[in-house]
Amino acid sequence: MKKRSLSFAKTSFALLLSSILGFSALPSAHAGPVTSYNGGFSLTSSDSTPVLKPLWTKTADIGGAQRLDTFYAQTADGLVFYPAKGKLFAVEASTGRQKWSVNAKLGSEMVVGSGTIYFIDNSGSLVGLNAKTGGVLWKTKTGITARYGTYNLALSGGKLIVGSTETLHAYDTATGKRLWKQSTEAVEGGTVYGTYDGVLVASSVVSGAIMVDQYIGYDIKTGKQLWALGGSYAPLLEQRGGYLYLRDNSMWANQDYAAIVDKVSVKTGKKAASYSFAQVQDGMYQQADQVIIDGKYIYVSMQKYIPNVLQGYSSILYRYELDKDPKTQKPVAYEDHGDLLAGPYMDRFFFQRGLQLSYMKFAGQASTSYPEIHNPVSRLDLHGTGIYTGLSDGLFYLIDIPSAKTLGRIDTGGRVYGETLFSDDTVIVQAENKLIAVKRPSALTDKAQ
């Protein structure tokens, strides 16, 4: 089972519950990492789940509710890197023992690769640190002024790509030397999806009569713009065989269908095909909640509707064959399981139904709930054979997918979570303003079955 590559090289499955600054806000096009609180309340219930004793806990400037000036931790080579009180710290993942700290006020998320930590500081300089020692390898003035204080970094095509307001730069990862600069119409930093056949594919929010998410292809060597897509598109669904699969989010596109997916040439930016899924009465108001591509199938998650009523009354998940006209297919339908959170993964989909977290196997129509979960999911990561999920009441659960057993819980005291991190048999939970590390239960493995 493959893992999807998400914006800026994040690779865990999760539910996108709300928008993150600089990313498309409507609607979700894949199951991606989430860092937001979606409300809810607690129910009194018996919970016999073992409480996991932390290996260590650290106060960190991460994941603060309703704050835009917080960033998240990263892991590499047995170390955890995180910001706190104007410094950047590195600790051993297994013990929490500090390896080094340096003065650093982050202006961007960190990117870690090839033994180097990359980030933009609050003065707008691009910095490369030795991940083992914290020593400064190089520091480069970018000359970038972020209108909303946002910079986005990504390693792609052997280069470090930096995006911000109305500009996109590429830097040499070893020296910090700028290789090229390209002017853009981006309101904010945008998203780099990857380099395919020598074409750097990125998207950004562009402001005009309306706000749109525009995709652009650049020559990775020179930065020359090769093409730009008109309209507005959701996050990249898939790249294969020289084509991008993109969900059209243009207000004028979905007149009669819940979702439209375009197949676009990576080399030219031209549409090779366009597919319309699930006819509805009003495509503007009756849009699909999520579209996911996995293997030879495309899945469309949406509400069910009755004639002449715009509001949906239940949930349905359709499965179509990819690259075939949906109008000639009779899709497989999975009905009334709740709101789709994540999947397909290990032959399962995962749903929120009321306050319950549940799953459905491909082979059957019935869904099964995890009895210990009694609050809305704020974050859900699927890693190896495990579910790692934080709830709106501050409880974080570790669940074994094959047996459906809940193996442990942590009381984080928070409601907002970052991506769950892993280092060997250590699990690092990113909750509001803290890191909590626990030993992974032996039943959970890194490799999905």
Instruction: Write out the chain's pLDDT in tens, 449 residues.
Output: 433 332 333 334 444 333 322 333 334 444 333 222 234 444 445 688 999 999 999 999 987 554 455 689 999 999 999 999 999 999 999 999 999 999 998 888 999 999 999 999 988 899 999 999 999 999 999 987 755 557 889 999 999 999 988 889 999 999 999 999 999 888 877 899 999 999 999 998 888 777 889 999 999 999 999 999 988 999 999 999 999 999 998 877 668 999 999 999 999 999 999 999 999 988 778 899 999 999 999 999 999 988 888 888 899 999 999 999 999 999 999 999 999 999 999 999 999 999 999 999 987 667 899 998 989 999 999 999 999 999 999 999 999 999 999 999 999 998 889 999 999 999 999 999 999 999 999 999 998 87
| Residues ≥6 apart with Cβ < 8 Å to 258 | 277, 278, 279, 280, 283, 286, 287, 288, 300, 302
Tell me how far CA of residue 208 lies from CA of 98, 145, 187, 228, 270, in angstroms. Answer: 48, 21, 10, 16, 23
Query: What is the Rg, in whole angstroms, of the alpha carbon atoms belonging to the chain?
Result: 22
Could you give the domains of the chain?
7-439 (2.130.10.10)
Evaluate whether 374 touches 356 at the Cβ level (below 8 Å).
yes
Q: How far apart are CA 439 and CA 417, in angstroms?
A: 19
Evaluate whether 428 touches 398 at the Cβ level (below 8 Å).
no
Phi, psi at residue 7, to the nearest 5°?
-55, 135
Phi, psi at residue 80, to the nearest 5°?
-120, 130
| Residues ≥6 apart with Cβ < 8 Å to 67 | none
- pLDDT computed for residue 155 by the predictor: 97
- pLDDT computed for residue 149 by the predictor: 57
- DSSP E strands in 248-347: the ranges are 257-265, 271-279, 290-294, 297-304, 314-321, 332-335, 339-345
Q: Say which residue the tokens 């009669």 belong to.
A: 256
Phi, psi at residue 326, to the nearest 5°?
-60, -30
- pLDDT computed for residue 9 by the predictor: 32
- pLDDT computed for residue 26 by the predictor: 37
∠ CA 246-351-251, nearest 5°, is 35
Tell me how far CA of residue 313 lies from CA of 305, 310, 355, in angstroms. Answer: 6, 10, 17
